[in-house]
Chain A
Amino acid sequence: MAKKEMRRPIESGCPDGVQYMHPVMLKNFGQWKYHDHPRPGVLRHVAHSGDTVWTVKAGTQRILDVFTLRKLCDIGDKYADGHVRFTIRSNIEYMVSDEVKVEPLIAALEDAGFVVGGTANSVAMISHTQGWLHCDIPGTDASGVVKAMMDELIEEFKNCNMPNRVHITTSCCQINCGGQGDIAINVQHTKPPKINHDLVANVCERPSVVARCPVAAIRPAMVNGKPSLEVDEVKCICCGACYPPCPPMQINDPEHSKLAIWVGGNHSNARSKPSFQKLVAGGVPNNPPRWPEATLIVKRILKVYKDDAKDWERINDWIDRIGWPRFFELTGLPFTKFHIDNWRGSRKSLNASTHIRF
């Protein structure tokens, strides 16, 4: 039999979005004048031409089965001119050019179980990684954490009761795919990797594993007569960087891989410069299927923020104003030696002044 001719790929790259864009958006491309916010979950954009487009935003389960995807399409065909887009936090947005279409669209989405909201000063959809469902190195799940937490925060998604928007992120390992968040719930390992010395020589390229370690705690060693690696457990910061290139360096631990909670990450340039998130709580149990301990801390931080922050203050702006001692006082979270940074550049995080609130 003749060798089958393989099809060569068409290297078309990123498709042109214009072909799928809602016609009112296309017509007024670059010619928008202002927007307002008629109700939570709905934005109204007005163009210089006088054209208006209403956007209805809805949260979904993000891991979509084709039935759900088609249901979203049915709603789009029936109520929203057949065009949609997705936000970077995986919400779906429907655009309509006629105000009378807004309420039926919202009703159709809610009847189908989707959640309209996530605009302006709400708690937005949690940005979401892969976790146990698909990742090769996860310390926890992502879809489950997000589902359990959004169940508890749904009223804050559907309403706009926060001082400013709140972006929550999760990450299933310390590589931190979830990114910076006003509140971040991230895996934090607390013990060095357990090494399966029988496998290292066959599975791992040892020099590149040594090179991955941020603190030079890994060195080549002969163990039981086989080439392997050893970890200086005093130096090791338990980050898990050695695990992706060398799975026998087992970092994930059902008991000792914990969750840590960070606050104040903000990517926007509004008011202050973009900021990194800061550690506030550690030792949170990685407790499937609903992770109640993590949710409890997140809800406590949100409550204090909601009560104490001024309008338009993101969490980082709010803490800049009230100071860290008051943050720990108001939230009741313990302040420990682990909160004091000792990584490179950490001197800049120390208070070299008498600026102290009493």
Chain B
Amino acid sequence: MSDKHSTPMLDELENGPWPSFVSGIKRLRDQHDDERINGMANDLLGQLEHSYETRKGYWKGGTVSVYGYGGGIIPRFSEVGKQFPESREFHTLRVQPPAGNHYSTDILRQLADSWEKWGSGLVTFHGQTGNIMFIGSSTENTQHFFDEINEYGFDLGGAGPCVRTSMSCVGAARCEQSCANEHKIHRTLVNNFTDDVHRPALPYKFKFKVSGCPNDCTNSIERADFAVIGTWRDDIKIDQQAFGEYVGTKGRQHVIDNIITRCPTKCMTLKDDDTLEIDNRNCVKCMHCLNVVPAALSPGDDKGITLLLGGKRTLKIGDLMGTVIVPFMKLETDEDYERLVEIAEETIDFWAENGLEHERCGEMIERIGLVNFLEGVGIDVDPNMISYPRESSYVRMDGWDQEAQKWFQRKIDERRAAVE
């Protein structure tokens, strides 16, 4: 290792009570047995200090991948590599985590061993998309590290215009609000598209996220192209005894102020005998009352999922939330899961065909209109897809009678199916 770079600004980030990433990088510089890692950490600190001094970034992209894949690596070459040669190549490997982000300490140690053999020794669990980020590898070692961890069950995630790594909440593994097998949905969806993960050939990125209930802990509506959210359609289950005990402890006023009046559809009544009555037909499954008293209120038994499409962040046309495409579907049988995968395939196929370069799925839907998209993927319109109907009269409606007939026919078919 050359002389240690002086880092007066970064040293300021070693003060204060929160754990310091700067101290961690210095440990790699000063205490690691491998001189390669010492040198990488030293030059990384030097470049970062240079960024702090000049308020500018000095990494540029490039093309790095592993044999057989076209993506999964974030290539980083230093623009100031002459000054900081040992971290000149500092690529990140995006590695898909186990669904639900569960680890044994054994597997974490195995990953740490592999990573210090080939990389910088810096790692993050996880990046914003949900990947394990192994930060800092030379171009050559990228292949070696991947080969090693791939042998014991880890695979690269997405980078570039492709299906990206997915994310699911802890869900059924530990949460009473879970209405779906998040774990299975996550793996069923993303592992159906491994080719589209590893070989970027879509208009832009495409993300799946899975939350087990409408609390949406994976932020799927806001940031996934394809959001799967667990829900239920029968009555909220009330343990009246537990609820009564809660009222007894907290008082009626507290319950009225924190539960009854917070219901967005005003569908709850606190009775004189401290029991709770819910107008379940008007419950929108917002989760608030279940969050406040999880010991007394639980999701119903008729569980399934709601599917929303098209969420994304700012670029290019502004933030978009996902919109409802399937208000409710059961996910119990193999056929149910096959249907979910089929919707994902048809969505991606239609978008790959019709999306412009660098256009997210939601932006395409915004451009062509929801109805054109629905017709493209063969999904019927549903009033749950909108907040309110059209306000503008500027529309051509000469097909009204046929469209109305379709609606009535669907209702007849649904009733028949329900009887059978």
Query: Residues of A with Cβ closer than 8 Å to B?
Result: 6-22, 25-26, 29-30, 32-36, 45, 53, 55, 59-70, 72-73, 76-77, 82-88, 90, 92, 95, 113-115, 127-141, 143-144, 147-148, 150-152, 154, 174-180, 208, 211-212, 214, 239, 241, 247, 252, 254, 257, 265, 267-272, 274, 276, 286, 288-290, 310-312, 343-345
Contacts and interface: CB of A to CB of B under 8 A. Distances in A.
A83 B107 CA distance: 10
Contacts of A208: 357-358
Interface in B288-303: 288, 291-292, 294-295, 298
B13 A136 contact: no
A211 B19 contact: no
B73 to A, nearest CB: 12
A34 B286 CA distance: 17
B316 A144 contact: no
A14 B170 contact: no
A135 B61 CA distance: 9
B174 interface: yes
Given A63-B124, A64-B124, A73 B17 contact: no
Contacts of B146: 9
B112 interface: yes
B216 A134 contact: no
Nearest to A33: B176
Contacts of A55: 174
Contact of A254 (B55, B175, B181, B262): B55
Contact of B102 (A12, A17, A254, A272): A17
A138 B218 CA distance: 24
A134 B59 contact: yes
A272 B21 CA distance: 37
Given A53-B174, A88-B167, A61 B21 contact: yes
7 contacts: A14-B99, A26-B173, A61-B20, A68-B19, A144-B52, A174-B314, A252-B55
B108 A84 contact: yes
Contacts of B60: 136, 247
Interface stretch (B187-195, B267-275, B333-341, B402-410): B187-195
Contact of B104 (A20, A138, A154): A20
Interface stretch (B115-123, B345-353, B368-376, B378-386): B115-123
Contacts of A19: 98, 104
Nearest to B67: A6
A113 B24 CA distance: 12
Interface in B1-43: 9-10, 12-13, 15-25, 27-28, 31-32
Contacts of B215: 268-270
A269 B198 CA distance: 33
Nearest to B187: A14
Contacts of A136: 57, 59-61, 76
B197 interface: yes
Interface of B: 9-10, 12-13, 15-25, 27-28, 31-32, 44, 48, 51-52, 54-61, 66-69, 74, 76, 90, 92, 96-109, 112, 115-116, 121-128, 130, 135, 146-147, 150-151, 153-156, 165-167, 169-170, 172-176, 178, 181, 183, 186-187, 190-191, 194-195, 197-198, 214-223, 257-258, 262, 264, 285-288, 291-292, 294-295, 298, 313-319, 321, 356-358
Contacts of A26: 173
User: Is chain A's interface secondary structure helix, strand, loop, or mixed overall?
Assistant: loop
B175 A32 contact: yes
Contacts of A114: 19
B112 A141 contact: no
Contacts of A92: 125
A177 B262 contact: no
Given A64-B24, A174-B314, 4 more contacts: A12-B150, A32-B174, A140-B55, A286-B55
A69 B108 CA distance: 8
B356 to A, nearest CB: 8
Given A60-B19, A114-B19, A269-B214, A147 B13 contact: yes
A259 to B, nearest CB: 12
Interface centre among A17, A152, A208, A247 (most CB of B within 10 A): A17
